[in-house]
Structure 1
Amino acid sequence: MADNTITLVGNLTRDPELRFTTGGKGVASFGIAVGRRYQVNGEWQEQTSYFNIVAWGQMGENAAATFTKGMRVIVSGRLEQREYQNREGEKRTAIEINADEIGPSLRWATASVERTPRAEGGGNAGGGARGGSQSAGGNAGGGDYFPSDEEPF
């Protein structure tokens, strides 16, 4: 299977919405806008693309507790397509980024990272922010892919 990792840098278009599965696992969803500037015949053009992001588990909970609309973030994850039925019973398709990593962009900001305690059974390492700064998250869950969250040292 081909690798479909995508990395985006953009601004949150809405505050993360945190929900929980029936099993108690957190899942946060939010949107980001990614802008691009380029020249055509000496004139600057702007193009903005919008992406839906899904973050599972402790990382999703950390993202919901940390990020707010307008913050600039870096998201690395997998491009995924999912099908669902809307309220009228019509079949729909959604394309979204299932986040493996989320963090603040430090290009025009600073951040203070605070580690969250590990959950029983190995849990996840994550971050929380203080004083309106942005912080990094932990591990993604959901789907069939579970990256190792063990520290390399």
Structure 2
Amino acid sequence: MAGETIITVVGNLTRDPELRTVGSGSTVVNFTIASSTRTFNRNTNQWEDGDTLFVNCSAWDSARTSLASNIANSLAKGMRVIAQGRLTQRSYQAQDGSQRTVIELRVDEIGPALSRATAQVTRQSASSGFNGGQQNGGFGGNNGGYQGGAGYSGGAGYGSNGGYQGGASQQAPAAPNNAPVTDPWQTGDSGSNAFGSYGTSDFGGDSDEPEF
């Protein structure tokens, strides 16, 4: 939409995302990103943190996406993220009766920062198109290659755990002798979680703002 202020913020979550359902039945998630500047001090030969910008963020589920639910299920306090969205302003009445106005980031896209971490992406299921781990159409996810209603069946060397899968009975040709036994992209770092290790220092307390 024309005239909107779109920004990108890189920082750490100060708390676990809070998922809730508002009176209208919509699902929203709220969280805060702390973004700090870093400068190099030539006197001490060390990097030092500068001022910290705390950005209150919100995201919503819609008929097309489950953004709010995905954020709550994927991100946690301390994780470093990259978020892009639109700056919005809203007013509310505080518990002491005063009227307050806040500016927050309405998140459109967000994901973990991979500069110091790794992540494993799981595509959500759908009835057609690109599907993660589904067998009803489109491209398969982690457990196979092409999957559909016709074509080759079985056969090693065509996918992670299987090859072309479908309803036809024609046997797939044998894989060449030099085909890789396993998919190297499926092998992760042993002993590490999906998002790496983060600090858990608290950047700020929960807001006393009322629900939407």
Q: TM-score scaled by structure 2?
A: 0.53
**Rg larger for:** 2
2:62 pairs with 1:51: no
Matches within 5 A, 1:92-131: 92-118=100-126
Aligned with 2:88 (options 59, 63, 80): 80
Hey, what's the Cα distance between the residues in 1 that align with 2:91 and 2:193?
A: 36
Q: CA deviation at 1:52?
A: 0.6
Structure 1, gaps ≥5 residues long: 120-124, 126-130, 135-153
> What residue is the counterpart of 1:133 in the other structure?
194
Q: CA deviation at 1:49?
A: 1.0
Structure 1 pair 42/3, CA: closer, same or farther in 2 (3 Å)? farther
Q: CA deviation at 1:41?
A: 8.4
Amino acid of the structure 2 residue aligned with 1:9: V
Hey, what's the Cα distance between the residues in 2 that align with 1:41 and 1:116?
A: 48
Aligned with 1:60 (options 63, 68, 91): 68
Structure 1 pair 90/133, CA: closer, same or farther in 2 (3 Å)? same
Hey, what's the Cα distance between the residues in 2 that align with 1:118 and 1:4?
A: 32
Q: TM-score scaled by structure 1?
A: 0.72
Structure 2, gaps ≥5 residues long: 133-191, 196-212
CA contact (8 A) 2:4 2:87 kept: no
User: Deviations 1:87-145 (Å, cap 9, x if unpaired)?
Assistant: 232211111100000111011111111122349xxxxx9xxxxx8525xxxxxxxxxxx
**Identity over the aligned pairs, expressed in percent?**
44
Hey, what's the Cα distance between the residues in 2 that align with 1:74 and 1:133?
A: 16
Amino acid of the structure 2 residue aligned with 1:79: L
Hey, what's the Cα distance between the residues in 2 that align with 1:41 and 1:83?
A: 44
Higher strand share: 1
2:18 pairs with 1:17: yes
Amino acid of the structure 2 residue aligned with 1:13: T
Count of residue pairs brought into register by the alignment: 124
> 1 or 2 for the larger relative contact order (CA 8 Å, sep ≥6)?
1
